[in-house]
Structure 1
Amino acid sequence: MTPSAYEPTHPTALAVDAEAPGPAATASATFGMGCFWGPDARFGAMPGVVRTRVGYAGGTEPEPSYYSLGDHTEVVQVEYDPETVSYEALLNVFWANHAPFSAPLKRQYRGVVLAHDDRQRETAARTREELESQTGKSVETAIETLDRFYLAEGYHQKYELRSTPVVADELEETYGDAFVDSTVAARLNGFVAGHGDDDEREALFAQLDISPAALSEVRRRL
C-alpha cells in the first residue's frame, strides 16, 4: 500500500479499495446531467475515477431530500486521480452526455458544472466556449461555484448495481456505510450499465474477492 492509499473504514474492504488513492491524493468534480443515476454509472467505469456519489447541490434549500428538493439540482460528484485522468477529460464526458443546447424543463435536471475552484471554473468556461465555436450553437449549461453538496439517499447510490441485488447486497454487507465510496462498487455500477471495455472488466474481475454467484450475475448483465 502506498503512503497516499485510501484506508476504508470497514475491516473487510476489498483489496481494490485498499489500494485506491485516498482523499489527499484525489480531486473532486461535480456535475448536473439530468437524472443522476446514469452519470453515476458512466463516470464510475472511467479509468482514473476513484469514487462516485450522487446528491443535491446548487440551491439554497437547507438539508434537501429527493421529495423535498427545493431549488437544488441532482448531481454526481466524482473523486478522481489527477495523475491518471484530467479534469478536462471529465468535462469531455460531461459535455458529450447531457443536452447542453437545451434549456432545462426542471431545475432538478438542469445541466450544470459546479466548480470546486477557480481553475475548474476557468476550464469549464473555456470548454463551453470551444463547444459553442465548434457547433455554432448556444450552450444553455450553467457554470457555477459549488457551495455545498448534500449526499442523496442510499437507494439512489450505485442505482444500476442495486438492480442486481445479489451483488449489491454482498458488497453492502462487506462495506457497510462505506459502500457508497467503494471503488469496486463504482466500477461494477458502471459495468452493469454497459460502460467500460472488456479488458478493464476482466482486469477488475481478476482482483475481486466476491462470491461466484455474484460474479456470475455481473457477467450476465454485461
Structure 2
Amino acid sequence: MIRTRVGYTGGSQPDPTYRQLGDHTESFQLDYDPARISYETLLGWFWKEAVPTERPYSRQYMSAVFYADETQKRLALATARQAMAGRSGSMLLPILPLATFYRAEDYHQKYYLRRYTDLMREFSGYGEREFEDSTAAMWLNACVGGYLKREELEAELERLGLPEAERQRMLRLGHAALAHRRR
C-alpha cells in the first residue's frame, strides 16, 4: 500500500501553515511497504520527472529529496548522479535530511480530486483522515491531476490485489476521473 499526504518540511518554524510557511518547503510524505517497492524504485520515478539542473524558484516550491537515514541518503545521491549522467550544468536540486513533516490543511489533501463532487461522493462515508490516507483516493487524485495514464492506473489497481468487485469499482472511478481530465 502506498499513501501520500501533502505538507511542509525542511524548515525551522514549528507548526507551519500555508499562510505562515516560514522557511519550509511544500512537500508530500509517501508511506510505502519496502517489501513491495524499494526506495530506489521510488527515487527512479522521481528522477524521471525532476530537472536536477533547474534552480529552485523559491524555497516554498522547490523540488527536493528528503532522506530519513544514511541508507536513503546514499541511494538519493547515487540516483542523483545517474539522473545527471549526460546532462550539462550543476546539480541544483537539493538532497536534504528529513526534518519534522507537518501535515498541510485538509483542503490541500487530494486537491485535484476534491474538485469533482461526483467522484467525492464515493468517499462520503470516510472521515477526513481516512480520506486523506486512502490509497484509492491517492490514485484517483493522480488521475484527475494529470499524473497517471489509463494503463498506469490499471497496472496499479492490479498490483493492489483488491477483490475483483472492488477492483472493477476502482477502474470505473479511475476511468471517470480520466474522462474529467479530458474535458
Equivalent in 195, 200, 207 of residue 166 of structure 2: 207
Equivalent in 61, 70, 73 of residue 109 of structure 1: 61
Give me the CA root mean square deviation.
2.6
Q: Greater relative contact order (Cα 8 A, min sep 6): structure 1 or 2?
A: 1
State whether structure 2 residue 125 is matched by structure 1 residue 174.
yes
Whether the 8 Å CA contact 1:65–1:152 is kept in 2: the answer is: yes
In 2 relative to 1, CA 215–103 (structure 1 residues): closer, same or farther, beyond 3 Å?
closer
**Offset at 1:136?**
3.4
TM-score (norm 1): 0.68
* Alpha-carbon displacement from aligned partner over 1:49-88 (angstroms, at most 9, x marks no partner): x111110000001110001100000101111122222111
| 1:150-169 paired onto structure 2 within 5 Å | 150-169=102-121
Instruction: Out of 160-169 and 129-138, give the one that drifted further.
Output: 129-138
The equivalent of 1:137 in structure 2 is 89
- Matched positions, count: 172
The equivalent of 1:92 in structure 2 is 44
Q: Which runs of 5+ in 2 are unaligned?
A: none
In 2 relative to 1, CA 214–125 (structure 1 residues): closer, same or farther, beyond 3 Å?
closer
Mapped to 1, the partners of 2:175 and 2:56 lie a distance apart of 40
TM-score (norm 2): 0.81
Equivalent in 147, 150, 165 of residue 197 of structure 1: 150
Mapped to 1, the partners of 2:178 and 2:79 lie a distance apart of 37
Aligned partner letter, 1:101: T
Whether the 8 Å CA contact 1:56–1:152 is kept in 2: the answer is: yes
The equivalent of 1:78 in structure 2 is 30
Aligned partner letter, 1:132: M
Aligned partner letter, 1:218: A
The equivalent of 1:120 in structure 2 is 72
Mapped to 2, the partners of 1:202 and 1:183 lie a distance apart of 10
Mapped to 2, the partners of 1:142 and 1:220 lie a distance apart of 36
Q: Which runs of 5+ in 1 are unaligned?
A: 1-19, 21-49
The equivalent of 2:99 in structure 1 is 147
Aligned partner letter, 2:77: A
Q: Percent identity?
A: 39
In 2 relative to 1, CA 215–96 (structure 1 residues): closer, same or farther, beyond 3 Å?
closer
Equivalent in 6, 14, 23 of residue 62 of structure 1: 14
In 2 relative to 1, CA 121–170 (structure 1 residues): closer, same or farther, beyond 3 Å?
same
